[in-house]
Structure 1
Amino acid sequence: MAKKGDMLYAWTNDADIKKKAELGGAVTAIWKHALDTKAVDAVLVISRGKDLYDAKPTLVRTSAELANTAGSLHCGTLLLPKLVKKYLEGSENMKLGVTVKGCDAMAFYELAKRKQINLDNVVMIGVNCGGSVSPVLARKMIADKYGVDPDVVHKEEIDKGQFIIEYEGGHKGISVDELEEHGYGRRSNCRRCKMKVPRQADLACGNWGVIGEKAGKATFVEVCSEKGANLVNGAVKSGVLATEPANPKGLDIRGKVEGAMLKLGEKWRKKDFEALGEGKDRLKKIMSETSRCIKCYSCISACPICYCVDCTTKNPSYITPGEIPPNFMFHLIRFAHIAPSCVNCGQCQELCPAEIPNALFMHAQQVELEKMFGHTPGISMELPILAYAEERVERERLHNTGSDMIYLNVFNPMKQH
């Protein structure tokens, strides 16, 4: 029987899943068990749309649909938690399974802290993640660096430090380091990421650490919660999943791979943040870059930390309506509100039509605030101080009292009595 803390190799016994899934199909098999036994009402995953550059969120309600969603998409850059909040009522009234990468898991925690998602109703299977590639840049990269028409590529993967493509007539791999030296490769936020194995999920799965005869044929499964252990045990009992203890040498290799990825993340942080400069130089750079803003609100609508009922950036007392580009106060409001809890998901940068490096600016501030106050977002249910006030209640208090002293009760305990 699996228990919290176990390290396992797992693979499916289901022939249909085995044909389409990767790494032995363990994740798909576990979701099949969860759906068949009604442990969850639905599973939210990323699946391929028109092509491998088109990732789409897919809500699966029956296990028969699962096989069509198996596999990974490194050119898919979606973030799922905000969709759960917006379209699935924060999973308040449904039991939901979700396959998550590191930034997804962090965002789930941050939204749950703010009572926007009911984490008690969510089961997360995390997958180790070395980073994703912007779909627009991926097409250009494949054409320029690989000399291959991106439309004929039917599969891609990141393995042993290479970005590998498969197409009719062959396959080709190029070192990720080489690609990134030439301005291609992973998204910049992914390069800086240090959440490579999302252990705040119920299960942390992937290929790192699977060696020997099981390499490529099994999934490494790290059991991170009792909820996760129950899922594995149920799937094994139903016959859809098989497991064995992970090879001790595989554990060592897994640790070394993760360690190398963390060092690489630190290297990119140093490079990116130093290039921003410090103090007034950094401020001038940020002001210059954000002066291209067209106030489309893509950064706000996609951000997993933005959840306010009434956005202060739309308050005419602070931001002049119709003014393009907006006053720098627009960005200062976002920095003040988001930076302490930024999970470096990159959505604000990925979707910006003005190509402003929003994620870089926000992440740089988050790291500095973490050094100052010791709060790391997205890894636990610990709240940053400004999240202690429930936003709807606070807005109502402001309206009723006419006060503009937001979060008064948090900062002045005497007012609570």
Structure 2
Amino acid sequence: MVKYLQIKSTDASILEKAENGGAVTSILKSLLELKTVEGVLNIKKGNDVYDGIPTYTTNPDDLINTAGSLHCAPTMISDIVARYLKDEVIAVTTKPCDAMAIDEIMKRSGINRDNVFMIGLNCGGTVRPTVAEEMIRLFYDIDPETVVSEEINKGSFIVELEDGTEKSVKIDDLEDEGYGRRENCQRCELKVPRKADIACGNWGSSKGYTFVEINTPKGEKIVQDAIDNGYIEVKEPSEKQIKIRSKVENIMIKMAKKTQKKQLNTEANEFDVFTRCLKCYRCRDVCPVCNCKVCSLEKPYFNENSNEKPDPLLMHGVRMGHMSFSCVNCGQCEDVCPMEIPLAKIYQRVQLKYREETGYVSGVTTEKPMIYSGDKEEIVE
């Protein structure tokens, strides 16, 4: 089922802090206050707009601190749900890659879908915090500390300053110079998280409203309960607005496919880069899908002499065989690799090849992947 609505919060304090309509915060508040969920997992601003911190709250009054967008917060939260909140009934905000990762863990029985209310966030990409600060100094000629909010809209990265003024630079201009969105975000084809119960964003919306796509019966009930209890007001989008939203999404998908060809097209033997591996396991530890109770790499027959250089084919061969078909292109592994191995690019190349051969799209296809092993039902408790 798919249904479109424009939603606006009825809470003036939420509207003042929200980026566009306040639908997400108001719906989360309704879920908590109506006791539909026990808690909410979301992202809040830390010391500044470059510091996005995962936060879990059971207090509806705390949700105002999570209102507004944070594009400099590429944090993945699926493994937080799987590791620490799997027995709770929760609401969670999900970027497309978050929703994809949660879906992959659900296929491995690591998360109970009935316990999770996914409030999706349309996403054009995230920006590394340190890159954002340097980018603002160079291209905006301002002190990054004077920025109080930021957003990506109409192809530009827009910042608001303490005095209320705004400055913007075209995303294309930033990325031509090696700044802007993270490379994996530039390659991402999924801009609307349709595995979430509802998907929220500003594409095609009227001023002061959030454009919401309802994707599940659970999502329809979420919205209806919020309407019935006075948390939100709604109106139907026009056909023109629906077309605008679709046009924006399709343009971004075409751009992503074009960028894939550019960034993933290499004639070199890319697997040679694994010789730089230190076997620190950061890529495994940060992966939002890799949640096995006992990692195969820690089984006795994979032990190596700690005084000798690690065998990269042993570690990465095993890990790729387990995870490449489920890669959601979040880019976290590449972010944390101390040897700058282009892991996200390598894994996406393999995943796209697997998609071409089998039709399986990680985090999207309903069925489990064809090479799925039943042994992977053993998920972290």
> Quick one: which of 225, 228, 234 aligns to 1:237?
228
- The answer as to whether partners of 2:109 and 2:377 remain within 8 angstroms in 1 is no
**2:119 is the alignment partner of 1:125:** yes
The alpha carbon displacement at 1:164 in A equals: 1.3
> Quick one: which of 361, 368, 371 aligns to 1:376?
361
Provide the residue aligned with 2:301 in structure 1: 317
Provide the residue aligned with 1:365 in structure 2: 350
Separation of aligned partners in 1, 2:277 and 2:137: 30
Q: Helix, strand or coil: the match of 1:328?
A: helix
Provide the residue aligned with 1:9 in structure 2: 6
Provide the residue aligned with 2:287 in structure 1: 303
Provide the residue aligned with 2:177 in structure 1: 182
- The answer as to whether partners of 1:200 and 1:380 remain within 8 angstroms in 2 is no
**2:237 is the alignment partner of 1:246:** yes
The alpha carbon displacement at 1:46 in A equals: 0.8
Describe how 1:283-302 pairs up with structure 2 within 5 A.
284-287=269-272, 289-302=273-286
Provide the residue aligned with 1:387 in structure 2: 372
> Quick one: which of 196, 214, 218 aligns to 1:201?
196
TM-aligned CA distance change 1:309 to 1:386, over 3 Å: farther
Describe how 1:156-195 pairs up with structure 2 within 5 A.
156-168=150-162, 170-195=165-190
Q: Helix, strand or coil: the match of 1:24?
A: coil
- The answer as to whether partners of 1:49 and 1:56 remain within 8 angstroms in 2 is yes
- The answer as to whether partners of 1:292 and 1:325 remain within 8 angstroms in 2 is no
- The answer as to whether partners of 1:102 and 1:129 remain within 8 angstroms in 2 is yes
**2:325 is the alignment partner of 1:340:** yes
Deviates more, 1:304-313 or 1:249-258: 304-313
Separation of aligned partners in 1, 2:75 and 2:47: 15
The alpha carbon displacement at 1:364 in A equals: 0.8
Separation of aligned partners in 2, 1:327 and 1:252: 48
- The answer as to whether partners of 2:293 and 2:378 remain within 8 angstroms in 1 is no
What is the percentage of aligned positions where both structures have the same residue? 42
TM-aligned CA distance change 1:172 to 1:340, over 3 Å: same
1:303 corresponds to which letter in structure 2?
Answer: C
Provide the residue aligned with 1:71 in structure 2: 68
2:29 corresponds to which letter in structure 1?
Answer: K
Provide the residue aligned with 1:155 in structure 2: 149
Provide the residue aligned with 2:17 in structure 1: 20
Separation of aligned partners in 2, 1:32 and 1:226: 19
Separation of aligned partners in 2, 1:391 and 1:70: 37
Separation of aligned partners in 2, 1:292 and 1:232: 50
> Quick one: which of 30, 36, 41 aligns to 1:39?
36
Q: Helix, strand or coil: the match of 2:120?
A: strand
- The answer as to whether partners of 2:304 and 2:310 remain within 8 angstroms in 1 is no
The alpha carbon displacement at 1:165 in A equals: 1.6
> Quick one: which of 91, 97, 101 aligns to 1:107?
101
Deviates more, 1:344-353 or 1:40-49: 344-353
Provide the residue aligned with 1:403 in structure 2: none
Separation of aligned partners in 1, 2:365 and 2:219: 17
2:211 corresponds to which letter in structure 1?
Answer: F
1:85 corresponds to which letter in structure 2?
Answer: A
> What TM-score comes out, normalization by structure 1 length?
0.87
Any unmatched runs of 5+ in structure 2?
Answer: none
2:271 corresponds to which letter in structure 1?
Answer: I
Q: Helix, strand or coil: the match of 1:291?
A: helix
**2:129 is the alignment partner of 1:135:** yes
Q: Helix, strand or coil: the match of 2:22?
A: helix
The alpha carbon displacement at 1:351 in A equals: 1.8
- The answer as to whether partners of 2:14 and 2:26 remain within 8 angstroms in 1 is yes
1:97 corresponds to which letter in structure 2?
Answer: A
Provide the residue aligned with 2:213 in structure 1: 222
Deviation readout 1:57-113 (Å, 9 max, x if unpaired):
01121211111110110000100101111222xx2x221101111000000000011
> What TM-score comes out, normalization by structure 2 length?
0.95
The alpha carbon displacement at 1:168 in A equals: 3.5
- The answer as to whether partners of 1:10 and 1:218 remain within 8 angstroms in 2 is yes
- The answer as to whether partners of 2:77 and 2:288 remain within 8 angstroms in 1 is no
Any unmatched runs of 5+ in structure 1?
Answer: 395-417
The alpha carbon displacement at 1:324 in A equals: 4.0
2:296 corresponds to which letter in structure 1?
Answer: T
Deviation readout 1:19-43 (Å, 9 max, x if unpaired):
2222111111111111011111111
The alpha carbon displacement at 1:159 in A equals: 1.0
Separation of aligned partners in 2, 1:36 and 1:66: 11
- Equivalences, count: 377
Separation of aligned partners in 2, 1:19 and 1:57: 22
The alpha carbon displacement at 1:47 in A equals: 0.8
2:341 corresponds to which letter in structure 1?
Answer: I
Identify which of structures 1 and 2 has the higher relative contact order when contacts are C-alpha pairs closer than 8 Å and 6+ apart. 2
Select the structure of larger CA radius of gyration: 1
> Quick one: which of 223, 231, 246 aligns to 1:255?
246
- The answer as to whether partners of 1:319 and 1:327 remain within 8 angstroms in 2 is no
RMSD over aligned Cα atoms:
1.7
Q: Helix, strand or coil: the match of 1:204?
A: strand
